[in-house]
Chain A
């Protein structure tokens, strides 16, 4: 509120009530954190952190996984209490016992995992905790009105009557932001807000953030993505291992740490090395691939998600021995379902999955694992490890009933222990002992346990989904090395990652997945911008950049049905090339309708407000009739 008044005062001085102007001058800082320290047992999560945020500022908080960013913000939001230090909001020192106090002080937070009740409507979620009542009953009409008002004022379209569980993540995030804004916040904390967004949605979000900061709101933006930081932040604070890090050219001393900020002009390299604490090169050393026989061949695969929506919509892929095929794409475009179908964890609707001419469909997961396929699931805590089990037991989680570890009836604890000691050594797993519960290990070492388990038997195919998510840089390098090594011994490797850098670094060929389809298979030398557009569903066959990798990837050209993108690009879409610039604006399905030849493709994806221009999608459809039929069927329903 104070901020709104101040803003008014600035615009129309005569309206400003006198007390505000001097206050604004006296207290330039919206927020000041002084020496915040938080310990969990022996771990110091935050070590004397200082931070200031000015009104209208977008302040980025940058750090690796586990650096202590979220812990810091949870203290600011009253979810945790600092062991030491002071939180000063608008010049007043505050103690936040709970989020209630933080909200009262004008602080709002959008959490990484949304804090929305799935079975409530948008309006109910937004009203929750700040309900208006009339005669003791909830005033629903007023709640709706408030939602619509705020959503209109800040350009955040939300439907107050929709059930949250039916909304896509992008819309849920808007609900979260509206929820914070209805509470008259002056300082908004956004915790990794772009992790779940497409590049387009990210762009929209950054636009919203600019609008908020123009309206005088301060924003603390937590992220580990350097490009976004540089695009939006006014100042940058880097946190490493619980401490703020000053720029190297800045003489930061103990009594002057509040000045330890980076400007958005700082180079990405410098920010990255500051974040990690040493020079970082995520380039992966690897020799050129020597692709051999076709090991995995997926044709016309269709998989549905829990809600019966086609998550994988006619995918054709080939992975050869001795190559890494990387699947790039924003999370939630069917990658999870694709991998689950491969592993027998989800029953496909149509299509075939052949490994060395043996169909995997209908096989149990156990059988698939037994047939020489290794699998690192994307979420190690949920799917990869049994936290209560020891490291040794986790290392044989899918091998316990095979010699030498045991048979269908009994286990051989001796063999399990011996093997565990070897793996711990071999894969550099840092643990007190092989008998320690795996939950006592750090994220990186836990991931190494999963990787060690899957790579310690002869494989034909290795599938790694998000192999380095939430893992420290050292472990990332180690795991990447092992993946490349596995390729070099002749295993076919399929890597699925939403981190573009990882895919580009590891893959010999990149398949870009968008809305359940493979839009293109390109070389890792393809420019980033182009990959980004593909990930957003924009195929642009007209540019020579995509054309050129075609000869560079002879593997794809050699087999007839499996080449949706490379083959089709060159001839199919020169006409639509002109549409491409226009389609970067969201929600324009017009180009698809404009090209009559692309009618089926447009109907297939355009129904959900897709940005895919008809031309590119249609061209690839023409090339694979099976998928095209599926799409048409869906379109008519």
Chain B
């Protein structure tokens, strides 16, 4: 409450003189600047060699080709143009579209520079992006459920870890992927339950609980890993890998086919959940009530809604989803558990949640963007690019700071997010 009120007060004084420099114009300056950067810098640095974007997982097969330098300059100019359109105050109705075009052109310009003289396998990039994004999507969705009903969930990282650990342990002992997924969900719910009880029943600050629970999960999984898994990996830490399902026919569609229809169940789960939660929140009784509880719990209470009950339900459901996201690390990505193996992915999921403005589709978009940045970072370090992978990996974090600072439009959290509901 206090935070919000001061924010608006300060905002007022800051925004007062900014009549001409409205959101679109400020965005325009930014896009034009990166466009200029791309044209001049990327264009100058890019060797005049062919950049090949192959439609497969390797160098073979059909490819889209372009001269690196030409491409870098051309796309840079497009980005510059998009910035100019925004800056001139034109096309206000298509602001989002123009903005996306500008950013896309900037990325393509960058790629032309980096790929010039080399090749970039598109299928590999897209599927790698999606794979990196899946846990982020699931984690962010868990956050959406909790935060839209008013419970801040900073413990996604901990839920990931418990999920990953549970999946590896039970998956190995039962030699079943599905038992692994199930116990991953249980692991996530465990953390979620502690979060829920402390935040809702004992009114502990939710950010504090979240941070401490991350440490608890780190400690517990690390401790049990060293005591159980390390001495006897055979019987505790060799879960079966999740099978990839090949859908005949659909899987043969170029690029999309191998990405979407030759993949594992968790990818589908994540994508289905995005739709389900979106429609649930906007179209169902549960969703209306969830949003009401997150925005104005007292109002919800006065019309007979059980505020705390709904919050418990949503946080626990979130635990299931984040736990399943944790399973991705052990059952899909690596095949075994390791200490602190999520290494901050939970916080990137949190960033995706905020960057995606607390909506399922926003979270999906943000997660894909962050996944792409990570995938690109690996690609660049593999091809020995001069651009340090660390800086690309910073992208999700910096993008989120830019978002919350309101430089690209203000993001607004649910009004009662983080406020415990105290009744009599």
Contact = CB atoms under 8 A, between A and B. Distances in A.
Interface of A: 77, 79-81, 98-100, 103, 109, 111, 114-120, 124-125, 127-131, 133, 136-138, 179, 306, 345-347
Given A99-B302, A345-B9, 18 more contacts: A79-B301, A79-B302, A100-B304, A115-B298, A115-B299, A115-B302, A116-B296, A118-B296, A118-B415, A119-B291, A128-B289, A128-B299, A128-B303, A128-B305, A129-B300, A131-B289, A133-B284, A136-B284
Contacts of A125: 299
B292 A346 contact: no
Contact of B12 (A79, A136, A306): A306
Contact of A118 (B285, B289, B295, B304): B295
Contacts of A118: 295-296, 415
B96 interface: no
Interface-central residue, B13, B302, B305, B423, by most chain A CB under 10 Å: B302
B300 A128 contact: yes
A80 B423 CA distance: 8
B413 to A, nearest CB: 12
Interface string B137-165: 00000000000000000000000000000
B381 interface: no
B398 interface: no
Nearest to B17: A347
A128 B285 CA distance: 8
- Those 10 A-B pairs whose CB atoms lie nearest each other, nearest first: A129-B303, A100-B304, A115-B299, A131-B285, A115-B302, A117-B296, A137-B283, A117-B295, A129-B304, A99-B302
Interface string B278-321: 00000111001101100110111111111000000000000000
A125 B423 CA distance: 21
A103 B303 contact: yes
A433 to B, nearest CB: 27
B382 interface: no
25 contacts: A79-B302, A79-B424, A99-B301, A109-B302, A114-B299, A115-B296, A115-B299, A117-B292, A117-B295, A118-B295, A119-B291, A119-B415, A120-B292, A128-B300, A128-B303, A129-B289, A129-B303, A130-B304, A131-B289, A133-B284, A137-B284, A138-B283, A306-B8, A345-B9, A347-B16
A138 to B, nearest CB: 6
B424 A124 contact: no
A99 to B, nearest CB: 5
B301 A98 contact: yes
Interface residues of B, number: 26
B299 A117 contact: yes
Contacts of B303: 99, 103, 115, 128-130, 179
A81 B423 CA distance: 11
Nearest to A81: B424
Contacts of A130: 303-304
Contacts of A98: 301, 304, 306
A111 B302 contact: yes
B288 A138 contact: yes
A130 B300 CA distance: 11
B12 A346 contact: yes
A116 B295 CA distance: 10
A119 B299 CA distance: 12
Contacts of B289: 128-129, 131
Nearest to B282: A138
B284 A80 contact: no
B284 A128 contact: no
Contact of B302 (A77, A137, A138, A306): A77
A79 B421 CA distance: 13
Interface string B409-423: 000000100000001
Contact of B288 (A81, A99, A131): A131
A204 B377 CA distance: 66
Nearest to A109: B302
A149 to B, nearest CB: 19
A78 to B, nearest CB: 9
Nearest to A125: B299
Contact of B295 (A120, A306, A345): A120
A124 B289 CA distance: 10
Nearest to A103: B304
A111 B300 CA distance: 13
Contacts of A119: 291, 295, 415
Interface in B385-416: 415
A80 B424 contact: yes
A571 B424 CA distance: 60
Contacts of A345: 9
Contacts of A111: 302
B22 to A, nearest CB: 12
Contacts of A120: 291-292, 295
Contacts of B302: 77, 79, 99, 109, 111, 115
A133 B304 contact: no
Interface-central residue, B8, B12, B289, B415, by most chain A CB under 10 Å: B12
B423 A79 contact: yes
Contact of B284 (A77, A103, A138): A138
Nearest to A119: B295
Contacts of B8: 306
B304 A99 contact: yes
Contacts of B291: 117, 119-120
Contacts of B423: 79
Contacts of B306: 98
B215 to A, nearest CB: 29
Nearest to B416: A117
A478 B298 CA distance: 36
A133 B424 contact: no
Contacts of A124: 288
Given A100-B304, A118-B415, A306-B12, A127 B299 contact: no
A119 B282 CA distance: 13
Contacts of B424: 79-81
Contacts of A346: 12
B362 to A, nearest CB: 16
A288 to B, nearest CB: 41
Nearest to A143: B288
Nearest to A136: B284
Interface-central residue, A129, A133, A179, A346, by most chain B CB under 10 Å: A129
Interface-central residue, B284, B292, B299, B424, by most chain A CB under 10 Å: B299
Contact of B299 (A81, A116, A133): A116
